[in-house]
Structure 1
Amino acid sequence: MSELPHEAIRASADRVRRSTKPQVNEQIDSQTETNIRRYADSDKTTIRRRIHGLDEEWDVERVLEVNASTLALTGLVLGMAVNRKWLYLTGGVLTFLLQHGLQGWCPPLPVLRRLGIRTRGEIDREKYALKAFLEEK
């Protein structure tokens, strides 16, 4: 039986968290908790603005996909226009993207996670905590 879309998203986020060093996950979780506490006593307008910002925040999957596409297209254009050796860039990037799709890990992932790029689940955790504050007010 195939996964429902939300289950596939959660499975992907779980793979990313499993592939991330525990101390990096802890830093991201700590920052999320700090964000939640920062907005706990805010007015409804401020909380709604933050929730809108969270809806716009790019998750690690989107960052990887956009960066991979940009680099692959760059390698393709340069490979056709400048030197065929640039096609190795396209091949390398697509290999990383395939690896991430299959394993939930690829070489750029640790860098992105250390930069604080969160999974959709991590972003949603903050979002739903803030929505709970709205209901209390």
Structure 2
Amino acid sequence: MDTYEGRVRESSSDKVNQDIDAQTLENIRQYGYNSTEEINERMEELAREWDVERVLEVNASTLALSGVLLGTFKDKRWFILSGVVTSFLLQHGLQGWCPPLPILRKLGLRTRKEIHEERVALKALRGDFNRVLAITTPEGVLKVVRD
């Protein structure tokens, strides 16, 4: 696994990855055999689910901005906060790991790919890909996959 999501999983403990995978499977079991309407509702929930990358980015930028503002208006020592937070974000971007990551993963935050896997599984169970069998053009197949 050389992708970003792969690095996040590699830097997460086996137990955390297994727990996240088990929850994903449970979600698929719970929603995958329900009515189309209930699957659609779950798909909307998944579209709104924040992935671990988004949470890290929002938290890091909020803390960095807070450090800059506090350093500017209160005490220059607050600039240290911005430096620490941005170094964590840089480390995460380069290595796929940073100190807050294990905590966020233990809380069950998934990567974009992990959320996408649940979406694709639910689409398959809903029958979305059955339409692909009758399509003969790459454009048609891509349209089905994107819908």
Do both proteins adopt the same fold according to a TM-score greater than 0.5, normalized to the shorter chain?
yes
1:78 aligns with 2:70: yes
Q: Distance in 1 between matches of 2:125 and 2:114?
A: 17
Match of 2:27 among 6, 30, 35: 35
Per the alignment, residue 56 of structure 1 pairs with 48
Q: Distance in 2 between matches of 1:27 and 1:85?
A: 40
Q: Distance in 2 between matches of 1:124 and 1:57?
A: 11
Please provide the CA RMSD for this pair. Answer: 1.3
Per the alignment, residue 126 of structure 1 pairs with 118
Query: What letter matches 1:91 in structure 2?
Result: G
Q: Deviations over 1:62-120 (max 9, x none)?
A: 10000000000000000000000000000000000000011000000000000000001
Cα pair 2:32 2:126 within 8 Å, conserved = no
Instruction: Compute the TM-score of the two structures, normalised by the length of structure 2.
Output: 0.84
User: Considering only CA atoms, is the larger Rg found in Structure 1 or Structure 2?
Assistant: 2
Query: What letter matches 2:48 in structure 1?
Result: E
1:66 aligns with 2:66: no
Per the alignment, residue 87 of structure 2 pairs with 95
Q: CA shift at 1:134, angstroms?
A: 1.2
1:47 aligns with 2:14: no
Per the alignment, residue 11 of structure 1 pairs with 3
Which range moved further: 52-61 or 65-74? 52-61
* Number of equivalent positions: 128
Determine which structure has greater relative contact order: mean sequence separation of CA pairs < 8 Å that are 6+ residues apart, divided by chain length. 1
Instruction: Compute the TM-score of the two structures, normalised by the length of structure 1.
Output: 0.90
Q: Distance in 2 between matches of 1:120 and 1:74?
A: 27
Query: What letter matches 2:80 in structure 1?
Result: Y
The percent identity for this pair of structures is 55
Query: What letter matches 1:37 in structure 2?
Result: R
Consecutive unaligned residues of structure 1, counting only runs of 5 or more, are: 1-9
